[in-house]
Amino acid sequence: MQRNANCRRLGTVYPKTGSRTLQRVPASRPFVASGLRILSSRVVRIGFVVATVGLGALAVVSEWSEIQRDLARLRPAVLVFACLAAAAGMCASMALWRMLLADLGSPLPYRVAGRVLFVSQLGKYLPGSVWPVLAQMELGRDHGVPRRRSATAFALLTLFNLATALLVASATLPFVAADEVRPFRWAFLLAIGLVALLHPRLLNPLLDRLLRLVKRPPLERPLTLRRTLAAGLVGVGQWLLLGLHAWLLTVDLGGDPGASLPLALGGFALAWSVGYLFVFAPAGIGVREVALAAALSPVLDRADAIVVAVVSRMLMTVADLALAGLAVVGMRSRRRELDDSRTSR
């Protein structure tokens, strides 16, 4: 009682977390505290997964008549390889997040990191942009990752994703589609600032300042230049893999393989960045398609470029759902193995 009274005087509250250790959440952030309390319920977690999977599937079903016509123009083998390339890019993103989280002091096995990230990322299909980070904070806590560290890793992942995506777009599109991507010149200018911001001499003080603003301790393990460069390379790799799936679709619809490669690589990276920055569009829907179609217009007519954008959206959604499903199934299988081993003893 005395402890709770002291905490109130300090401006903090202790939310109920079942049998878990109580953690402080600033009273000045009631929305975040409420969201975390909601997601700590097992029933709500199951509902979160069901809702996000349902909305992701609805995104495909609602456009199925149009998608079906588009799919008929693409060879099944190309669709399979394009989906695998998209899934590989998402796995690279998971590896980047795991690397950043380990640098902050919370290394996780790949299987656990996949479950936390892939399931939490389904939150982007819900209205509002806060759900992925709230889910990541709650799921990470199950594996000993402090919520503050999960939030910091999420912010870093977003920064690295945007910086490396715009770097790939800036290194390709201005040289092969300058006129077509002219409306997005602001994104290329943003790339310069974001890439510069990744240097530890700027990034570490900035993160410490942001943590002080939310009344949190500074970074326990500041990022080093070596690890930052490694994370940047992984970030670039993910965009090359994700751009590969757009290139496969473009070539199958008649685009020249050589001319299409830089357009697809840079175009998808630019499209994702623009879609992400428009936070009011869940998963960047609509915005991403416009940007990708514009980038591909030098090698495809408008109708075919839109087909690539629509089918790309569908394949990305399928890959999202498949990876989240495999991560959950894999963790359940692992738990059964551990339970069986304990029983045999």
For the chain, the domains span 40-335
Cβ contact 116:140 at 8 Å: yes
pLDDT along the chain (345 residues), means of 10: 43 39 43 46 50 51 60 88 96 94 89 88 70 82 86 90 94 87 84 90 88 77 89 96 96 94 95 78 67 90 86 90 83 52 48
φ/ψ bin of 224: left (φ > 0), alpha (ψ from -120 to 50), beta (otherwise): beta
Within the chain, residue ranges assigned H as helices are 2-9, 30-39, 42-61, 64-71, 76-103, 110-121, 131-141, 147-170, 173-176, 185-197, 200-213, 225-252, 257-277, 287-296, 302-344
User: Which of 317, 263, 315 is CA-nearest to residue 81?
Assistant: 315
Cβ contact 268:238 at 8 Å: no
Cα–Cα distance for residue pair 292/310, rounded to 1 Å? 10
Q: What is the pLDDT of residue 10?
A: 39
The pTM is what?
Answer: 0.74
Q: What is the pLDDT of residue 179?
A: 84
Q: What is the pLDDT of residue 282?
A: 55
Give the contacts of 44 (CB within 8 A, at least 6 positions apart): 38
